[in-house]
Amino acid sequence: MLLWPGEPCPGRICASSARHVSEAMSDQRLDAVRQARRLIEEAYKLTHLWERNYSRARSLVEDQLVGNADDILLLTCLGAILADQRHHLEAVRALKRAVANGSTDRNTYFNMGVAVFEWRTPEEARGWFERANALQADPESWEAYFDPQGQ
């Protein structure tokens, strides 16, 4: 249905159209997250693809954030990518936004712990890891790589 500017929209039709647009955006968002995750997993199997895959994964997630700047899943995944790339301050910034938006995803807090551990101190990271342990992970997000013995 095409409406002219200022023409009233029948509520049922507009609500339906808005729902379809929202569902399409959600599908694109999840597709981007899943593709980013596959790229990360591939990078661990084929290490010669690490730089390329992480760069692509980051772009996929950042592109989705343009229209969804406060999306907790996207921010959590971006935080994991940035922490793995050793961009710890940027990871903390993204993850703080996810926390501020009410994240209950274990991986948000775990990834914050990783970034803080690497950027600041293990003592500061401990609180984030403790918070993570009290939560369930969103099945679509993932943990940043963490090897505390590898310091």
Phi-psi map region of 46: left, alpha, beta (phi>0 left; psi -120 to 50 alpha)? beta
With 0.85 as the threshold, say if the pTM is over it: no
How large is the angle between the packed helices 106-119 and 122-133, nearest 10 degrees?
170
The DSSP symbol for 134 reads: T
Rounded Cα gap, residues 43 and 30, in angstroms: 20
Tens-digit pLDDT string for the chain (151 aa): 333 444 454 555 444 333 333 445 588 999 999 999 999 999 999 999 999 999 999 999 999 999 899 999 999 999 999 999 999 999 999 999 999 999 999 999 999 999 999 888 889 999 999 999 999 999 999 999 986 655 5
Domain residue spans in the chain? Answer: 11-150
CATH number belonging to domain 11-150: 1.25.40.10
Rounded Cα gap, residues 34 and 30, in angstroms: 6
Please answer whether residues 88 and 82 qualify as being in contact, where contact means their C-beta atoms are separated by less than 8 angstroms. yes
